[in-house]
Amino acid sequence: MAHTFLLRPGRWTVYGRFFDARYRQEGARGSLEVRHDPLVWTIQAWLELEDTGRRIELSCSVAPSKGGAAANWFCVHPRLGKFEGALELGGRRMFSSFRGTDGLHAGQSTFTQKDERAYLSEGELRREGAIVCSWELALRTGPTQ
């Protein structure tokens, strides 16, 4: 089964759980859109936390490699600033590690393909080595969004 998230343009719905540093969880829902231009791919995303109503908006750019198995990316977070990362494909998973240009923040996210229209994203963000937040998010695209 070929990967569809990020490698194809499209709109994805997002829902799941978000955990803070004290492991308190709250529901999360959102949306993201992947666009492909000739030299760069873009991701526009938002995620709303259900209990606090806090909304996170992200704008990311991806520089795909010619072989398609890896890519470099950068993303701007409204409060934390710019992040730079790398994405690699491995079987039915996409592995991404990232670091903030502030030198304080770093993290990772794994996207596991469930089928052509569904992925599970699990990841964490750390500040100076301590977990700030983590997430378990389902991504879905297509007619059954």
Condensed to tens digits (0 to 9), the pLDDT of residues 33-53 reads 999 998 899 999 999 999 999
**Residue 141 reports pLDDT greater than 60:** yes
91: pLDDT confidence band, cut at 50, 70 and 90?
A: very high
* Confidence (pLDDT) at 38: 86
Going from N- to C-terminal start, the domains of the chain cover: 1-69
**Residue 66 reports pLDDT greater than 80:** no
**Residue 145 reports pLDDT greater than 60:** no
Residue 107 φ/ψ, nearest 5 degrees? -175, -175
pLDDT over 90 percentage in the chain: 84
* Confidence (pLDDT) at 70: 81
* Confidence (pLDDT) at 135: 98
What is the spatial distance between Cα 108 and Cα 2, in angstroms, rounded to a whole number? 22
Between 121 and 78, whose confidence is greater?
121
* Confidence (pLDDT) at 144: 52
* Confidence (pLDDT) at 68: 67
Between 71 and 11, whose confidence is greater?
11
Other CB atoms closer than 10 Å to residue 112's CB: what's the count?
13
What is the spatial distance between Cα 77 and Cα 69, in angstroms, rounded to a whole number? 25
| Upper half-sphere CA count for residue 10 (Cβ side, 13 Å) | 18
Mean pLDDT of the chain: 93
* Confidence (pLDDT) at 8: 92
- Average pLDDT value for residue range 132-145: 88
pLDDT over 70 percentage in the chain: 97
Give the residue from 81, 57, 60 showing the smallest Cα distance to 71.
Answer: 60
